[in-house]
Amino acid sequence: MDILASLFNGILVALEPINLGLAIVGVIVGLFVGAMPGLGSVNGVAILLPFTFVIQGFTGGATSPMIFLAAIYYGAMYGGAISSITLGIPGASTAVATTFDGRPLALAGKAHVALVAAALASFAGGTVSNVMFTAFAPLLATVALSFGDPEVFALMLLAFATFVGLGGDDIPKTIFSICIGLVLATVGFDVVSGEPRLIFFDITGFSHGIRFLVLAIGVYGIGEMLWTINTSRYGSSMSNVDVSARAIIDAIKDFRHAWRGTVIGSLLGFFVGILPAAGATPGSLMAYGVAKLTSRNPGEYGKGSIDGVAAPEAANNSASTGAMLPMMTLGIPGSPTTAVLLAGMVIWGLQPGPLLFTNQPDFVWPLIGSFYISNVVAVLINLAFIPVFLWMLRMPFTILAPLIFVLSLVGTFAAYQDMFDVWLMVIVGIAAFFLRLLDYPVAPAVLAIVLGPIAEPKLRQSLLFSDGDFMIFLNRPIAGPITVIALILIFLPLFKLIRDKMRQTA
């Protein structure tokens, strides 16, 4: 009852005119920041962090500035799906998995279905994570602390195991695509030894590695544009997108068919989000893989499955709240964006950690209350703006293609201010186009380059701790069961493939 009373009081503070206004403005800003390729929540929060000092000077406390930044974070999680669905360009790394099925739905003239599913799944994921955050914050913080290097690597291995199903029925090509992603993830300086690795032709631009957004925008911006031009799939279905209120209402009713992906994304996203340094991107990718793995119709994924949109969108919003938990209860950022928020809290004189809930209840509970308010504001604004987003699809492709190209260039340069990355993004896009011509799936490669930099140091640090004994991944109470499940998921499709080949030979 104390928790409910504290939450109720926190929501009342969050509903004060100044805080509610900041939440609305923050959500709108975050929505468009998230939709712009190359920006995302990290850059949006970092850019607007200095502005919060003006807010603090006006309100006289840290609560209102933090509500504003948290609202930007929420809005950006919603906004990342917009460009992924309408243009095929991920607004941020957290929205890459949304592109897999959101873009095919848009190409089939069902962009309104994808946008509604993304908005409602985001709302569901945010609501579930808010409730879990409120009820179980101290307990979940303890669970997060129990995840050491072997447990995190086992979780990443489980994520890789789900990738096998993301490339269709051609398992060898899928594994090859994963290997390409893992190789690209090792380019740059070794995080453990500091030695340079795979710096092709001694080009200094490779020293910082191949950045994920460069790969994502190249594959799903330039690559998708070239693929659309080559196959002429755009057609009249894109120009005849239905923007009527009736179509949106029907799409809201159809969302009930996406309950499976929404549940998976909401729960899995929050669990991955609370792990220190994991964040929303791995959560959304894992949710997509698990949703496909457990689906009764896995063949629909990648062709326009509404569950394929709901799962990653529910996960990235759920994970964004989950990432707040280790930041507030342990003082450990759960994602790059929460690292910026943590810096802001320290600047404002707050001390994140186990005593924050006890010593600063007047800050904590209004902030948690603002999570609920921002979630409601975000879904209402997102649904209201859907006709505007759909209007973009009515533009002729002769205008849309150059727009996609320019946004890809500007988004990549805005993210890193490096022309080498811009050229690399174009080359990656062309390479992705030819891989698709050869019927190689590109999604597993993109996913591998996300989790590779997380999995590799955890693997090596675990082996250093165990003197090279791989049994460390099997004899620990949490890592062991996860590793066994991951190995089963990896080898089971391979056994089925070998069995089918033997039957064909016989």
Residues 106, 113: Cα–Cα separation, whole Å: 8
Read off the pLDDT of residues 289-346 as tens digits, 9 standing for 90 and up.
Answer: 888 878 888 778 878 888 889 999 999 888 888 888 777 777 666 666 777 777 777 7
Residues 396, 403: Cα–Cα separation, whole Å: 11
What is the per-residue pLDDT for 236?
Answer: 42
Collapsed DSSP state (helix, strand, coil) of residue 60: coil
Q: What are phi and psi of 19, to 5 degrees?
A: -70, -40
Question: What's CA 406's distance to the chain center, in Å?
Answer: 23
Question: Residue range 381-389: average pLDDT?
Answer: 82
Write out the DSSP string of 197-243.
Answer: E--GGG-GGGGG---HHHHHHIIIIIIHHHHHHHHT--HHHHHT---
In order of 95, 327, 446, the CA distances from 453 in angstroms are 19, 22, 12
Rg (CA), the chain: 22
What is the per-residue pLDDT for 235?
Answer: 44
Tokens at 189, concatenated: 């300086």
Residue with tokens 């460009």: 83
Tell me which H or E stretch contains 5: helix 2-14
- Among the listed residues 110, 109, 139, 25, the one whose alpha carbon sits nearest the alpha carbon of residue 72: 25
Collapsed DSSP state (helix, strand, coil) of residue 84: helix
In order of 137, 243, 320, 371, 462, the CA distances from 77 in angstroms are 22, 23, 8, 13, 32
- Decide: 134 and 462 in contact? Cβ < 8 Å: no
Write out the DSSP string of 263-281.
Answer: HHHHHHHHHHHTSTTT-HH
- Decide: 325 and 303 in contact? Cβ < 8 Å: no
Range of weakest confidence among 26-40, 106-120, 163-177, 419-433 = 163-177
Question: Residue range 393-420: average pLDDT?
Answer: 76
What is the per-residue pLDDT for 481?
Answer: 87
Q: Which residue has the higher pLDDT, 116 or 95?
A: 116
Tell me which H or E stretch contains 337: helix 336-347
Q: Give the pLDDT band (50/70/90) at residue 152.
A: confident
Read off the pLDDT of residues 416-473 as tens digits, 9 standing for 90 and up.
Answer: 778 888 888 898 889 888 888 887 877 777 777 777 777 888 888 888 888 888 888 8
- Decide: 377 and 73 in contact? Cβ < 8 Å: no
